[in-house]
Structure 1
Amino acid sequence: MPSILEDPATNTPAPPSMLLSLKSQPQKFTPIKTTLKTGAPVTLYPITSGPSSLPTSLLRFLHAEFSAEIERGCTYPMEEAMEFDRFGEYWFGLFGVVAVLDSEGKEDLTEGGDWERECLGTFYIKPNYPGRCSHVCNAGFLTTGAARNQGVGIVMGQAYLQFAPLLGYKYSVFNLVFENNVASVKIWEKLGFNVIGRVPGAARLANSEGLVDALIFGKDLTETVD
């Protein structure tokens, strides 16, 4: 359920508000426990220390899932997958989250997990613009292949709306939500996002004969979230 992909060859620095929040109030960035619509318990782990803080096997699994999503050519604008090292920094370089099924005795992300079964998805949060506009953020979302149709997308969206304000962001913009990605559009509408723009014929996608419009979604993150 991707929502945005900026140029992967560039890095926008973290806004000062985000760095201040992570340094001064690290206790706020704790795992979120919730349940899917199936009733399955899930924990969403915030990743605040970069890709090196993740188990290598999990990072490789997510890289493979992201590469497969790009190859399908229906949701992200990229035509070629990233190299493994580039993916880790791109996705988890500033702030990321990994959604994992709960299991007995599991308290953290550790090496040796059955990630094809346990890992449900991931998302990142980044500034959408640099400098004086860096309080506006975007995000990219990925639901793993084995976790489709379980309500993972809405759970990650809800977690996004919790973490983004804690990082100091004031507004959220999703630049490329393709109009034919019905599941994604429904999630953002349900979570209170509004369509604030449209890019006609923005994408050549594998699941459409013609060009597909991209919707631009926006939401004020200073509003009270239910």
Structure 2
Amino acid sequence: MRIRPAAEADIPAVLEIVTPVLAAGETYAIARDLDRAGVAAYWFGPTHEVFVAEADGKLLGTYYLMANQQGGGAHVANCGYMTAAAAQGRGVARTMCEHSLARAKERGFRAMQFNHVVSTNNRAVNLWRGLGFEIVGTLPMAFHHPVHGYVDSFVMFKSLV
């Protein structure tokens, strides 16, 4: 598996990964009914440095890296990760997160924070914990899950220094 910066030619394949995840509404606090242009505008936003994970010429996943906040909070990174449905369970998310941690350090970030990890997303919560992130806050009933109703979200944090 290789991780590289996303190129213009990757946009259609990235949208094939991102669109169904956002439409499912189970893991991201964003509108579920975005059209392709809206999904592209979100994932490839002007503050996002976007990467793709690929193997054998196929995209397996994608992530973006950005500053979590501006000004006095700009030293803390934030990321969003998505793995293609056919590639789940193959270590793609772990590899992308490890890559993002290294890239964040290269860019001078001192920490990484995930603002809204849905508590029912057990795979993500366990993966981030396994990579050294701590739950530093719980947002009670902060996410309206389409299956489980109102559930908690976690704020997860990892120092990079």
Normalising by the residue count of structure 2, what TM-score does the alignment of the two structures yield?
0.90
Q: Residue deviations 1:134-175, cap 9 Å, x none?
A: 111111011111111111111111111111110111111101
Distance 1:84 1:167 in 2: 30
Distance 2:71 2:135 in 1: 25
Equivalent position SS for 2:145: coil
Q: CA deviation at 1:86?
A: 4.5
Distance 2:37 2:109 in 1: 27
Residues 67 and 81 of structure 1 are in contact (CA less than 8 Å); yes or no, is this contact kept in structure 2?
A: no
Count of residues paired in the alignment: 159
Which shows bigger deviation, 74-83 or 184-193? 74-83
**Residue of structure 1 equivalent to 2:53:** 99
Residues 25 and 32 of structure 2 are in contact (CA less than 8 Å); yes or no, is this contact kept in structure 1?
A: no
The structure number with the bigger radius of gyration is 1
Letter in 2 for 1:69: V
Q: CA deviation at 1:61?
A: 2.2
Distance 1:177 1:131 in 2: 24
Q: Larger relative CO (CA 8 A, sep 6+): 1 or 2?
A: 1
Note the 1:1-40 alignment, pairs <5 A.
none
**Residue of structure 1 equivalent to 2:100:** 160
Normalising by the residue count of structure 1, what TM-score does the alignment of the two structures yield?
0.65
Residues 60 and 84 of structure 1 are in contact (CA less than 8 Å); yes or no, is this contact kept in structure 2?
A: no
Distance 1:128 1:212 in 2: 23
1:212 equivalent in alignment to 2:155? no
Percent of matched pairs sharing the same residue? 29
Cα distance 1:180–1:156, how it changes in 2: closer, same or farther (>3 A)?
Answer: same
Q: Which runs of 4+ in 1 moved over 2 A?
A: 79-94
**Residue of structure 2 equivalent to 1:54:** 8
Distance 2:117 2:26 in 1: 11
Which of the residues 14, 20, 32 maps onto 1:80? 32
Distance 1:82 1:95 in 2: 21
Equivalent position SS for 2:81: strand
**Residue of structure 2 equivalent to 1:22:** none
Note the 1:175-190 alignment, pairs <5 A.
175-190=115-130
**Residue of structure 2 equivalent to 1:44:** 3
Q: Residue deviations 1:180-208, cap 9 Å, x none?
A: 10100111111111111010001111231
Which has more strand, going by share of residues? 2
Note the 1:122-161 alignment, pairs <5 A.
122-161=62-101
Distance 2:143 2:108 in 1: 32
Equivalent position SS for 2:116: strand
Unaligned runs of 5+ in 2: none
